[in-house]
Structure 1
């Protein structure tokens, strides 16, 4: 039988069966549209489709370079097709590419060269591309792409481990991070929302607070990879299939539990589960007085870390210590205030400020309340229509953030706020110092990394900031929209305008200023009609968030870039899009 060396591309639809269950006809129609687009790309790149069944296809290329180009272009083409699918769903393909020896039987190809491509496709993220080590060797210096080295993997029915690389390219960043199925080298863990077992459903905020505290404490350990709160809270009030949750969050271990609060008594139950097997690793129940809540949370953290057999030094335990409030009512105010902050509106910001001030009235030395208050003033300084004195707000943000650090130096948030304060004063080196302190305190805090990334980008370190923003996204697979907004800002500052626009177009309303950035990005890539549309929308909404008239002079004050040429270029582009000078 004839044999030859060939590059094989294997692709299939992620979650195809589920889509078919929802709507067979619309799903099949969408698949046909995608397959037609895929066939055109493959033909253009000199490949040929020789196999596939159902929602999959397999193609052959003579060149590894053309196969990888084809894979990237396929994902880009599919992302742009307007598909008629059930609301909230999209069609995404996984792609695997391998270079290997194949057997030839008429027009069909067989053998390990084909099988490995299929196994790599199974490892890829929806919307992503995985390639084998030998493909990477042939294309690494020939494409302007970056690749994540995912190490060697044992593939089913393949004798030797195969080195796997994941392509990183604009337009698929979200898919790569949201659906990653390859487990990190260090133990990865997600804490699901603890159930509120009390009679009062209004007490759900309290069980959420307990959960968030445990996430925060676990995240302080560099030896762990901790999934962010925003992602794990997607599973609230759902019957959790632990194995599925583990796959979706890329977590090896899952913590779940419950909280029952009755006057000044609490009962907390917690269990640690191996998400790859479903086996319970550890479980316990704690009955205590409400005043001892923080001791119980610390004990749960210690038991989890111990069960994972992580080597933790004494100084790591010391760093994980925190100072509880002197009043549990102050803690209640903190929890309600944090919820208001998450709403990200003028009214909610004012309500959060009132709640944090109430907490401080009960406990003037409560560090978290000072940090929360600092954040409300920081937002009031930037969104100038949310208050009456932006510069005074910036000073108050600094005062409360410094107070929080003095009272408890284990919280990264005050350092991030101080970073923003220094940025607002164009003190770029001092801003970076605060960010480094925040990341040293809690290297797993995805919010800290995302916010730090944008500050670095505005400080002139666009390329380095992209990696930091992508790390935040990997830590928080179900990240909020502003993560992508910040990542796009990093791409913009690095001069990668098409990548920035592709991301911003998915989240145009993530923050009040996003459409202004998107308008400038569209100018940079020559899409003037879209630029004018986005700028018109930004200007209509401007008075809700910013004081003064929407013109170049006022908008310039929003963006504190280190290099004047960068802000000049940005404002000039916004003016081309329709911003009055």
Structure 2
């Protein structure tokens, strides 16, 4: 097996000294892997304490989370606390502290017990005092593909070329740790192999099957939870074998993009269950904005990034996450007070993130966004191109280059970026469809913009405004007013002044701003 990165505990596990708690399964086990008995209510109480570790949790909060009621007897809560302390061998009450007349607080032990045997170590040094250590990235293992019948190029060769391409592209994502089961190291990705390999410490498995007649091929891919072998995501890719090397790279990027997006989506559920880390908080924030950007999502992202910065000040993820959150709030008009100060904070966070992780593609993406919004278009393009070099599988980074290239009149490059993004993510998502639609509108093709919007899996507030603008330019006034009406119903306090401020905060060319604002005014944007 080839290791691209190496870590110890599963990403969902927290070491509590004598025991390890899995925030996904709500189960405790010792360092040999044996489960430690803990009643259901006690597990729920421990999960709540874990989510708010280091903070006092009141009895009413525990009651509502574990019993689904506002109040429950103090004896019931005390029994659960005693049960937890017994399971954790916490006789001195140093892990679960009682705070008189207020509640309880969970404090991670300052010294950990010997590691789980699978780490291959005999013990660990004491954890230094100070900020909490950031949990590791989820481990994803790529298995050798099944052969469902291939002709032409030998099955091992074709499977290995595609498998290697997928591993290379996945490894570009610092959001995950990647392992690769080499072609000559064991079985392929059938269910028996999956069951055996799921016990090696991976969090997720990528398994697949290949079918080919020598000219055409079909690759089916599955993302599987190693914990319970449930299938999280499945997709099929049909391809022509004529240009295998270029083809394998393209398929590798498609698979890596889809798997990366899926793991980013999972991050929100994980932090809701208490698996806090700066990386997961940033991933969850990105997932919200890719799925359904809104003022509410922006507010939550800012609050959670503050937690990341407080708990993990030396992690680049909190800094780049907060920088992106601030810029998104400014650009979208959700942040209207102290905009200059917020912009300066975003710059400071980008600089700190770059110092901490100069090879993280998202750091360069955040840097590019910040430079673009300050009007430094050339420098922004260089930063975004660097982000693409580090991770060419990210459609978010690819489409991030479109607007700066349009700002300098490089329409050919913008169209090339649109084509690349569509090849990597042919199904599209809201963020991708909006950026492509906005680019077509800027290039004077409102009809193409409208088609891209209609192809989106859903509509966001920005999409509704663009829908109104494009429809009006096509002479479809009723459609324009209806689209803008939907936006105003969701944002009743929005007006022409707020929209103007948001557009100018992005250093958009004046002619583009005037065209945009004029159309929105005609469609009924209140002044």
**What's the TM-score once normalised by structure 2's chain length?**
0.49
Q: Choose between structure 1 and 2: higher strand proportion.
A: 1
Choose between structure 1 and 2 for higher RCO, CA contacts under 8 A separated by at least 6 residues: 2
Return the TM-score normalized by structure 1. Answer: 0.45
